[in-house]
Structure 1
């Protein structure tokens, strides 16, 4: 039956992955079947639209959109696809396209679902579109479950690796090989340079993200061929993969939003930089964030806001946060269990703790149990050992960089020697290119040498008994001064959590921040913190209200 007699026909073919398109898995078969179908019905194929590596769950496909535009322009009156699933994986998209094409006088036909051109056929096609959507959702669910399981086992799911890493195959006893990330030594210097330059600055002084992006571009560095700008430098500085932990399932690509952290899957990867350097960068970004400045201080003026939790165990509290509350028309301030306030006493019996009393208790115990010079020396012993190891690595890296600079000088001399001997002309473009590349590498290596030399020359790296004593006196007096604007900053630095129970108040803090703060010994040097200095250790009697 010549349904398409004397009609112009367009063919649409699609595959879901680029690999399928490159390997010609299904597109040639689709187009051949569609051409035979159209010819058998008397039509003339005037255009073939091929969409390689595109998902039908969205209509934001350039070839598909061009086909619709050509249909509206009247270039053809029939569109043939191998199946509706090649065009749509969403029933609503099918309904919209069918209505739009019908108004343009264009018929939509499936080779494998060739129903009658009547209301019953329309109903059947609508049911097919719904089934395709359901099948797509089921497939996505199974694929997602498999990928999450793969990530939980420590394997990489095939996304593009962060700069400085490469994907390697890991043979499996059964089934196909899996993927893992390894450090790409040829490119790992770049994230190291970015972190070290941002944290330690340049010879001209501290550097922000915008200026760092400009510096990278001036050095001739690229991010897979793209120029650096604020957003991709910031993305590198905040990517935990560089200190040993990548994450899968962070973002919902369809909804275009971040998933809750509880759904993220951590994947251990080799660390390109050490954890201290990573968190120094985070602290620096937080300190420079306008949201962390004066306006934030006004809304977070209470000393222990965000740190106090209800209960030291599940038996004497809900372990939820405690927020600020007032009594007697605002005359008294308290830390009160938020669960009790919002969900009622059936969820937690709750507690109200006098704010001033708890603040003073925490301050005095931190001064007594943490800030005494002997205690500081004990707490920082592991960090000091780590610092010595870092210094040794820096010295080894500096030696390697100096050797590299010497080699580049030799390469430059060799190229110039070819010109002097008359073996090559000074006007030869290749000579200019070689010398330019060598000069660019020498500038980059020289900048790296400058960073390492300044790090090793920084006297703040050494934490002496005198420094510990001065640090203890300075911070202790500042924390006792309720009028000091730095009081809360030092508490934020030294205290991570305050658990308030029936008979105990447990204070926990962090360790590496003590070392950086002690090495600075200046009130304005208050970095963010990241490790415990006394996890589950300091237990103090709760004050009696």
Structure 2
């Protein structure tokens, strides 16, 4: 008699942790061999094997993500995802439940070789409890490991992270148990650290130097930090690292959330100092004194017109990095400059630095010219203004899909809340808030698209007249040329996605859908600036 698995297409997923394996943990070859035997015994067919090393507390695993993407594709290449145990997939109950539901909608089953539960409501409850137990077991292991590492740090030993520049590890034999490690000066890089502090404080033969100039100076000398070029970020980390005056703070941050822990939980690990405290704190004071965000040189970036829009290069003559705000003469002059050049020097990119007022004016003039003329607006909105029967039918179909998507998102939200109510997940779990925020963002985007479609369909046989298009163009012109810099920025960021700045050309690009939303908002009494939710795209379940 044919079993439930005969003839089914199978993906095999095998995983081991990157940390020391538990005594009875199976290796990757053992897991794969066990899966192959299961496939032969059940008459199934192995389509592909995915294997990797990594933690199962989240989904940040390359092979796992690739497997899920293929399983959810329209080609439907798989019926079963086979694992040795459910903990190989996840040690987080919420993530497991969500992925199981996503796969179930694609008619893909998750099957554990060592945990056969069947396929019914009672089995679902058992699987949920097992996933919760796996998460609890992982959390308890994590707490035990953390306690051990804190005790190790309190005793003055290094826990195995990459040492700061200028240090290396050495082994300290122990009378019992595993040998431990401490830090000592690395003779190959310790003088480089002293050079960094000395050069920043006293400058070069050409005069004083800031962090940007210091990065360029070091890169031109051929200095590297673990094979990488120096930049503002890694030099700032060096100049503020207390390791160089004799202690490294362990347990400052939560490794999973990145949040800073209370100072009472920090554990100082003593290390041999490289610079004196006078030198270290003189460098810190100099950094504070030169900080352009302080004092008279302070600049407010919340009204910068092209922040996050401008990029270096147009037509292949730049590096594609973002352009950041740079200042001259203690903040009296403002520019947009290539971030790669600013942070790493001209070796990274020859780049360009454009006066902020000049580039802002060029972009505002171009956007106003291209988007406020009635003829141009009508051409850009032509597909939206199309009143043909085919266009109306397509809009009605799209509206149905969007409303179905809203219903689906409501179900996903309810499922997450149900996990909390049933005690499977804690309401304080940061992943709960993250998932609900993601669902909310997708729903906002879908609702905005629904508003546009409903407005189109409401018009019926009444066409958008030339007068309405002209009024809309005049509204845009007023907002783009008005005195309020925040409002100008809102409208530019609504209409423009990218500004590519080259030596000879500037390319400005945006989406017609933004114009459509703005037109709808302009026809609503008392409407504020319409918000474009570009982060989420309708009918897709992940952040693109």
Task: Give the shorter-chain TM-score range.
Answer: 0.5 to 0.7
In 2, Cα distance between the equivalents of 1:142 and 1:294?
Answer: 50
Deviates more, 1:9-18 or 1:101-110: 9-18
Counterpart-to-counterpart distance in 2, 1:206 and 1:262 = 39
Aligned to 1:457: none
Are the aligned partners of 1:38 and 1:80 in contact in 2 as well (CA < 8 Å)? Answer: no
Query: What is the TM-score normalised by the length of structure 1?
Result: 0.52
Deviation readout 1:70-129 (Å, 9 max, x if unpaired): 101212110011111111111110111111101111110111111112221111111100
Cα RMSD (Å) of the superposition?
1.8
SS in 1 for 2:209: coil
Query: Structure 1 residues 273 and 149, CA, compared in 2 at 3 Å: closer, same or farther?
Result: same
Contact 1:168–1:182 (Cα < 8 Å) also in 2:
yes
How do 1:199-348 residues align onto structure 2 when only pairs under 5 Å count? 199-294=201-296
Partner of 2:35: 34
Partner of 1:539: none
Moved over 4 A (4+): 18-21
- For residue 135 of structure 2, the aligned residue among 133, 136, 158 is 133
Cα 1:79/1:25, change in 2 over 3 Å: closer
Counterpart residue number, 2:8:
7
Residue in 2 aligned with 1:67? 67
The 3-state SS of whatever aligns with 1:255 is coil
Give per-residue Cα distances to partners, 1:373-407, cap 9 Å, x unaligned: xxxxxxxxxxxxxxxxxxxxxxxxxxxxxxxxxxx
- Tell me the distance in 2 between the aligned counterparts of 1:165 and 1:125: 48
Which residue of the partner structure matches residue 151 of structure 1?
153
In the aligned structure 1, how far is the partner of 2:224 from the partner of 2:112?
Answer: 46
Supply the distance in 2 between the matched residues of 1:290 and 1:213 (Cα, whole angstroms): 18
By how many angstroms is 1:295 displaced? 8.5
Question: Counterpart of 1:258 in 2: which secondary structure?
Answer: coil
Match in the other structure for 2:188: 186
Contact 1:252 1:258 in 2 (8 A): yes
Q: CA deviation at 1:25?
A: 6.4
SS at match of 1:10: strand
What SS class does the counterpart of residue 91 from structure 2 fall into? Answer: coil
Count residues with an aligned counterpart.
293
Aligned residue in 2 for 1:124: 126
Q: Could you tell me which residue of structure 2 aligns to residue 301 of structure 1?
A: none
CA distance in 1, matches of 2:129, 2:20: 30
Cα deviation digits, residues 446-479 of structure 1 (max 9, x gap) = xxxxxxxxxxxxxxxxxxxxxxxxxxxxxxxxxx
> Normalising by structure 2, what TM-score?
0.52
Partner SS for 1:92: helix
Q: Secondary structure at the match of 1:154?
A: coil
Distance 1:242 1:58 in 2: 35
> In 2, distance between residues paired with 1:78 and 1:244?
55
Give unmatched runs, 5+ long, in structure 1: 297-545
Contact 1:3–1:42 under 8 Å retained in 2: no
How far apart, in 2, do the equivalents of 1:270 and 1:63 lie?
A: 42
Report the alpha carbon displacement of residue 19 of structure 1 after superposing the two structures with TM.
6.6
Shift of 1:2: 3.4
Inter-partner Cα distance in structure 1 for 2:159 and 2:186: 18
Based on CA coordinates, which of the two structures has the bigger radius of gyration?
1
- The question of whether the paired residues in 2 share the 8 Å contact of 1:192 and 1:273 is answered with yes
Q: Distance in 1 between matches of 2:295 and 2:205?
A: 27
Residue 55 of structure 2: aligned partner? 55
